[in-house]
Structure 1
């Protein structure tokens, strides 16, 4: 028999907040990485084919990270909307049960 897992709007919002923190951390790390990658390509620092390969690779990594953080943002928004919808449904259910109880 499976364990019962109770999920409420607060738990869904907490997950959204955790994902948002992770997304922000990833964006910060990527920003730092891109800064260092650009600094390493300053005149007289790093030249040649390896330097160009680094520029291309760092841009590809940045592009992929941006796609991921955009998707995470969409997921975060969807979770928050689901939590709001869940709360609205719970309130409607309480009101319906209350009206039935009051009629009895």
Structure 2
């Protein structure tokens, strides 16, 4: 891989990480795991205002983390690639391990 390709890939990687930088977006991704959802259902289940959910879904869609499908007048959202959940789970495990190490260092 040459340097321009590495730089482009790094930029794309950073864009995805930026999208994952908001806890609400992470909650939305987990909520979409398993089944497509309407914005209204996501808002209700997550206890967020619908405009907030819509705004976060737009960011996730721009980063190709979620996809849409029309269902009459409404839009259904789903994960574009379910492996994002595996990535999030690995990140959570890294955090748990770091917290365990910190707790052990204090004892």
TM-score by length of 2: 0.35
Greater percentage in helix:
1
Higher Rg of the two aligned structures: 1
The higher-RCO structure (CA 8 Å, 6+ apart) is 1
Greater percentage in strand:
2
